[in-house]
Structure 1
Amino acid sequence: MATLTQLPPGIREKYEPVIGLEVHVQLLAATKIFCGCSTRFGAPPNTNVCPVCLGLPGALPVLNKKAVEFATLAAMALNCQIRETSIFARKNYFYPDLPKGYQISQYDKPLAEHGYIEIPSGSGTRRIGITRLHLEEDAGKSMHEGFPDSRSSYIDLNRTGVPLSEIVSEPDMRSPDEAYEYLTRLKEIILYTGVSDCNMEEGSLRCDANVSVRSRGQEKFGTKTEIKNVNSFRFIREALEYEIERHIEVLEGGGRIQQETRLYNSHEGRTYGMRSKEQAHDYRYFPEPDLLPLVVDAKWQEEIRGMLPELPEARRKRMVSEYGITEYDAQVLTVNKTLADQFEEAARAAKSPKRVANLVQGELMGRLKAKGLEIEKSPISMKGVAMSADLLESNTISSKILKDLYDKAFENGEDFSAVYEREKPQQITDSAALEKIIDEIIAANPRQVEQYRGGKTTVIGFFVGQVMKASKGQASPGLVNELLKKKLDSAT
């Protein structure tokens, strides 16, 4: 990441960053918000269009009920208060990919307000407020091939009219790390509801960040800048770090911050001025005359509330209580709803949910990551994970045997049960057989025996390793430790 002039020690601490985020989430409705065109991503340019989304004269919008339900569901998951009657408004501005010359959005009467998200903070949590969640239509997409040398730009209007929920936070975040945590939790909640896939590469989750700095202890906000359309949470954190440093440097040099929109260049690790930042009055909002007020009455709200799944934080608490796993385990296992579902399937089938948690996080997820696979593509099923956990729990196999079987399952694309039934490995738990191996190892390594006698008890790890090697990993590690200690102690 590019750096500005190094700030003198203690200067950064004089200032407090103030951060607010605007997140646009594409809703997974099959058709657009005001017409019947498909929302499918990746179609040939300008094929998912009609007179409504092209803004042709006389074409009238018809509101998509599913988009309303999805937006309301997201708002409920974010602890928002649902407004029974909300109003659509025209947001007027010119851009080549906005064919009507205005965007249908919501302004002073949005669908939902006054929500919040809890984020980790120190040893507890901190509440970040959500100002509003409203419905709007997406714009098209401008493509500048060969920029900056090309003199042509291309417009694809397939995205025009795709339903969006815009989620506007309060300016409650005080560091780039808090912004990162907020976005992580927000995405997690939205994914659990199923209203969006939050795919940043396809543009179904986009974020604008507003940032300013003020002297610590000051109530009044500083002049803000907006960072537009950063395409990863990591880059948002980097862009905010850079912009905070830039603000402080300008102010310390006696300058003034210009209220403007800036773009982040991830290759250079810096922001660039794009245009002056618009105020709300610049958009000349007025009520959309072609749409009636949107009424989500109490009965409809209750129907939608019935669609709410168990949300991540509630699920974490239940899993800690129900399965006896740690809070850290629960946090890792619930970041993805599919992963959480898979874990619970295995945990209910196994004798030790804690051992299942360890296997899923360590042996399974590590191999999936190495192969570039999602949990849904795992060759080892959750029944296989449960089976392997029970075999470990009963000392039928060792950790070494389990690792070998997992490796073979991934190499062959087979489930654990198939590999185990074919290989039939058994852990050696016969004391007499193990004592014979141990006696041979002790006799062959007199120098290490002397080291143990001299008080270097850690050398027992060497003997354990030799026994495991001689037994091809099939010896019970616990029993090996017990027998070795007994024999080495009796030899001292």
Structure 2
Amino acid sequence: MPVVAGLSPEVRAKYMPVIGLEVHVQLLTKTKAFCGCKNEYGGEPNTHVCPTCLGLPGALPVLNRQAVEFAVLASKAIGCTIRETSVFSRKNYFYPDSPKGYQISQFDKPIAEHGVIHVPAFDEAGNPITKAIGITRLHMEEDAGKSLHDGFPDSATRTYIDLNRCGTPLCEIVSEPDLRTADEVFEYLTKLKEILLYTGVSDCNMEEGSLRCDANVSVMLKSDWEQHGAKAFGTKAEVKNVNSFRYIRAAVEYEIERQISVIEDGGRVVQESRLWNNAEGRTYSMRSKEQAHDYRYFPEPDLPALVVGAEWQKQILSAMPELPEARRARLANEYGLSAQDAATLTTDRELGDFFQEAAGKAKSPKRVASILLSEITMRLRAAEIELAKSPVSLDGLVLAADLTEGGAISSKQLKQLLDSCFEEGRDFAYIYDRDKPQQITDTSALEAMIDEVIAANPNQVAQFKGGKRTVSAFFVGQVMKASKGQANPALLNELVVKKLDA
């Protein structure tokens, strides 16, 4: 983590950071928020536009029904209360990538309020806790276009405007200033992204701008907090232009230390927007926000109030999937998985679905989880392919789990078979039928191999007789090598110890 040089732990301990987040999430609708233009990333500049996107006179907005339904799903997934009647407003400001001269948003009557996200954190004593981070509101709005800055050989800088993104439906999710550390920021964003991906309302692709985050950071003396509470909050700086959770964590950490250093040196923190420079690991001043911008909000005259009644809400929420936390608890309870395995299997909805279907068919759900987590996902990462393109199908995973659980193949043979699957792009059933590896379960055959290994290693036998019983693993390894990995592991271990004891 980049830090400001010279800030001692003792000085840092005097201050309490106060952090709030504003997260913009592009909704995964087919068309834009208020017109029929395609809502998709990329394309030739200014080709996914129409008179409504361009703000031409006489063009009227028509609200996208699916955007409303996605906003309701997202709101409920983070515990918000849906406002039955919400209002769209005009947020007036001039910027080249907003051709109307205003943004259609929601102001004093957003679609949802008062949610919560629970994140892992630590108390003052360093003990692990679960912390509730409040959600102030979720409101709907449209995105602006994109400004593209280009330098030329003559050193002149020109700015081009691409309005393809203009009018894309957004949800802005505003947290309460409940976050106190950069790690809590990281956990909050990770949990929020996980929930949104489960609902399917967004792909949350930060590289394409589907999820963007601004962090409002301030610091205050802990003694002021104890005496005055939120009334003593410090002056905040808004950190913008951060394109990954890891960098957001670094930017927040840097900004906390920068502000403490300013105060300790007798200075005053300025209310401003700051940009994160990842190459240098620091923030830079972008523009002052000493004077609050007057957006002159007023109700959008071309859109009626949005009414999401009880029946419509019920219809929308019927599509709500089981959310990550509930699924973790259920999988751990239903299949006897460890908390860690259940958590890993549910970080991604597709992975959780894949496991659950395979577990319902296999003899041992635990074996399915073990192979999926320790063997399949490892090879997927190495090959840089997604689960949907895995050569090992769901039925292939079930077969692999059943053969391993029943002792028909060893863990080493399983690894060899899976290696062949990924190298050749073939499913597990094909590779297994072709190669037909067999385990040696004949007791007399194994005893003969064990006798040969014992006779060839008298020093290790003496160590075992002298009380170093862990040396039995050496003999197991030697026999396994001699059998080319085909000896049944459980039977081999039992016979080796029996022979050595004799």
Same fold (TM over 0.5): yes
The residue that corresponds to 1:135 in the other structure is 140
Write the distance in 1 (CA, Å) between the matches of 2:292 and 2:152. 31
Query: Contact 2:2–2:253 at 8 Å: present in 1 too?
Result: no
Query: Contact 2:272–2:285 at 8 Å: present in 1 too?
Result: yes
Pairs within 5 Å for 1:192-271: 192-217=198-223, 218=225, 219=229, 220-271=232-283
The residue that corresponds to 1:320 in the other structure is 332
**Is the deviation greater in 458-467 or in 413-422?**
458-467
User: Deviation per CA, 1:234-253, whole angstroms, max 9, x where unpaired?
Assistant: 01000001001101111111
Write the distance in 2 (CA, Å) between the matches of 1:130 and 1:356. 37
The residue that corresponds to 2:379 in the other structure is 367
The residue that corresponds to 1:108 in the other structure is 108
The residue that corresponds to 1:153 in the other structure is 159
Cα deviation for residue 340 of structure 1 reads: 0.3
Write the distance in 2 (CA, Å) between the matches of 1:15 and 1:381. 53
The residue that corresponds to 1:61 in the other structure is 61
Aligned CA distance change for structure 1 residues 211 and 403 (closer, same or farther; 3 Å): same
The residue that corresponds to 2:182 in the other structure is 176
Write the distance in 1 (CA, Å) between the matches of 2:354 and 2:479. 36
TM-score (norm 2): 0.95
SS in structure 2 of the partner of residue 89 of structure 1: strand
Aligned CA distance change for structure 1 residues 33 and 229 (closer, same or farther; 3 Å): same
**Is the deviation greater in 85-94 or in 253-262?**
85-94
The residue that corresponds to 1:32 in the other structure is 32
SS in structure 2 of the partner of residue 44 of structure 1: coil
Query: Contact 1:92–1:284 at 8 Å: present in 2 too?
Result: yes
SS in structure 2 of the partner of residue 282 of structure 1: coil
User: Deviation per CA, 1:344-375, whole angstroms, max 9, x where unpaired?
Assistant: 01111111111111111100111111111111
Write the distance in 2 (CA, Å) between the matches of 1:177 and 1:99. 38
SS in structure 1 of the partner of residue 43 of structure 2: coil
TM-score (norm 1): 0.97
Pairs within 5 Å for 1:86-485: 86-122=86-122, 123-146=128-151, 149-217=155-223, 218=225, 219=229, 220-277=232-289, 282-485=294-497
User: Deviation per CA, 1:95-137, whole angstroms, max 9, x where unpaired?
Assistant: 1111111111111111100011111235442111100000100
Write the distance in 2 (CA, Å) between the matches of 1:336 and 1:19. 27
Unaligned stretches of 5+ residues in structure 1: none
SS in structure 2 of the partner of residue 409 of structure 1: helix
Cα deviation for residue 478 of structure 1 reads: 1.5
Write the distance in 1 (CA, Å) between the matches of 2:144 and 2:442. 71
SS in structure 2 of the partner of residue 144 of structure 1: strand
Query: Contact 1:144–1:150 at 8 Å: present in 2 too?
Result: no
Q: Aligned residue pairs: how many? A: 490
- AA aligned to 2:271 is Q
Aligned CA distance change for structure 1 residues 389 and 269 (closer, same or farther; 3 Å): same
The residue that corresponds to 1:83 in the other structure is 83
Cα deviation for residue 287 of structure 1 reads: 1.4
Query: Contact 2:194–2:348 at 8 Å: present in 1 too?
Result: yes
Aligned CA distance change for structure 1 residues 405 and 250 (closer, same or farther; 3 Å): same
User: Deviation per CA, 1:370-424, whole angstroms, max 9, x where unpaired?
Assistant: 1111111111112211111111111111110001001011001011111111111
RMSD: 1.4
Query: Contact 1:437–1:470 at 8 Å: present in 2 too?
Result: yes
SS in structure 1 of the partner of residue 151 of structure 2: coil
Write the distance in 1 (CA, Å) between the matches of 2:412 and 2:439. 10
Write the distance in 1 (CA, Å) between the matches of 2:495 and 2:119. 50
Query: Contact 1:226–1:277 at 8 Å: present in 2 too?
Result: no
